[in-house]
Amino acid sequence: MKFIVLILFIWSALFGAKVVAVDERFQQSQSCKACHLQIVKEWEDSWHAKSHYESDEYLRASIDFVSRKTRKSLNAVKVECATCHNPRLSVTNTGIDYEIMAVMELDKGSLVNKALKSDAISEGINCVVCHNINTIHDEADETKRGINRVEWTKSGTMTGPYDDAKSPYHKVEHRDFMSNNSDKLCFVCHANDKSTEGFVFTNMQSEFVAGEKKCVDCHMGEKKMGVAATLKIDNGKLKQREIREHSFSGGHTPAMWQDALALDVQQEGKDLLLAISNPQPHNIPSGFGSRELIIEISYKKGFSEVESKTISLTNHYTSKRDKATIPHLAESSTKDGSIPAKGKKVIKVAIEKNATNVEVKLFYRLVNDEVRSLLELKEAIWSQKSFITSKSINLK
């Protein structure tokens, strides 16, 4: 029996791993601070920096949940999720051989376990994830995501948006997906989220409406004059460039939601028509399947509230056993509750009797009640509401 396990171990060592070499000098962002201090400081507060099992409660709880429900080893699920969350992981698959070793507790010295403890992935999406990409294969089958959609440069070669960048510490090469075609880089991971059952629960690339606005315009801010590197390479002076923030603001940033959607409220007989318009180039909510819009309606008589109502716009997911589940295990979902990109949704609700005026408020939440309960999320960020906009009208 031990001989068979040994053969499996050797097989796993040969075929269950793919080494992605990252020089120790570039594995962690601390090495980049000497020349790119401001950019690294911005990144440190981003959710890209938290894209790791130890740093993100939602990711950690989801991985634990999937492992329990599918009866896969925890590390096997971590490797699957690393496709996008930790693309520099040196192991790209596990397989039944690793599962056998894990069950028999013979996996401690395996390539899988060593890879998951590597400093190269401890910072999630850090500098050498985006700035070490040589080629993006956007022509590849849409099932190819993250690490399976890119080719890396040699360790020590950084790619960026400038064609005249120089550094005495590493080679620098320009890539178009860092400047003119940046959406291509975002969609390496932010596309085609698929469950274990093959159900696509979010596809930001397919819902995206191309136009003047690019992903970076909102999520990295407008270009501003500043310093990308502190090296005095411009005739002994710091090189002034157009740069963007690296805080990667998104759904986790409450300020992003101020007036992100437009709300119009009209009376039609005994009903209210709530029209929510989305000027953004992707659906809202989007990004992860459990995100939610909350409409709070307050019916008033003068200044006193006579009745209130709450409407949730979100998706609910069902497993193959016909039970409520998280998006990553879903076989199906309810009708899409999001507001389409560059589109709108109109909701009709009855007006409460005796009301003379009404106030409608629109909020956004990262995780709906159902999924938050299933994952037993405790951190406040998953239940807090971000205010978007409001509208009040007098009733006839």
From first to last of its 396 residues, what are the pLDDT tens digits of the chain? Answer: 444 444 444 444 433 434 457 888 888 899 999 899 999 999 999 999 999 999 999 999 999 999 999 999 999 999 999 999 999 888 888 888 888 887 888 788 888 888 888 888 889 999 999 999 999 998 888 888 899 999 999 888 999 999 999 898 999 999 999 999 999 999 999 988 999 999 999 999 999 998 889 999 999 999 999 999 988 877 888 999 999 999 999 999 999 999 999 999 999 999 999 999 999 999 999 988 899 999 999 999 999 999 999 999 999 999 999 999 999 999 999 998 899 999 999 999 999 999 999 999 999 999 999 999 999 999 999 999 999 999 999 999
> And the tokens for 213?
């606005």
Q: Residue 310, class by beta-carbon neighbours within 10 Å (0-12 exposed, 13-18 middle, 19+ buried)?
A: exposed
Q: How far apart are the first and last CA of the chain?
A: 82
Q: Could you identify the residue written with the tokens 């990553």?
A: 328
Question: What proportions of the chain, in percent to the nearest 5, are helix, strand and coil?
Answer: 30, 25, 45
What is the number of other CB atoms lying within 10 angstroms of the CB of residue 94?
Answer: 25
Write down the domain spans for the chain.
Answer: 2-243, 254-394
Exposure of 251 in the CB half-sphere (CA atoms within 13 A): 21
Name the pTM for this structure: 0.90
Q: Residue 339, class by beta-carbon neighbours within 10 Å (0-12 exposed, 13-18 middle, 19+ buried)?
A: buried
Q: How far is CA 66 from CA 117, 125, 211, 327, in A?
A: 20, 22, 37, 10
Peptide bond into 285 cis (omega under 30): yes
**H-state helical runs in the chain:** 2-15, 33-44, 57-70, 74-85, 96-103, 111-116, 127-130, 183-186, 204-207, 215-219, 369-375
Return phi, psi of residue 180, to 5°: -80, -25
CATH architecture designation of domain 254-394 = Sandwich (2.60)
Can you tell me the distance from the alpha carbon of 216 to that of 214, in angstroms, rounded to the nearest whole number? 5
* Phi/psi-derived region of residue 114, left when phi > 0, alpha when psi is between -120 and 50, beta in every other case: alpha
Can you tell me the distance from the alpha carbon of 287 to that of 201, in angstroms, rounded to the nearest whole number? 10
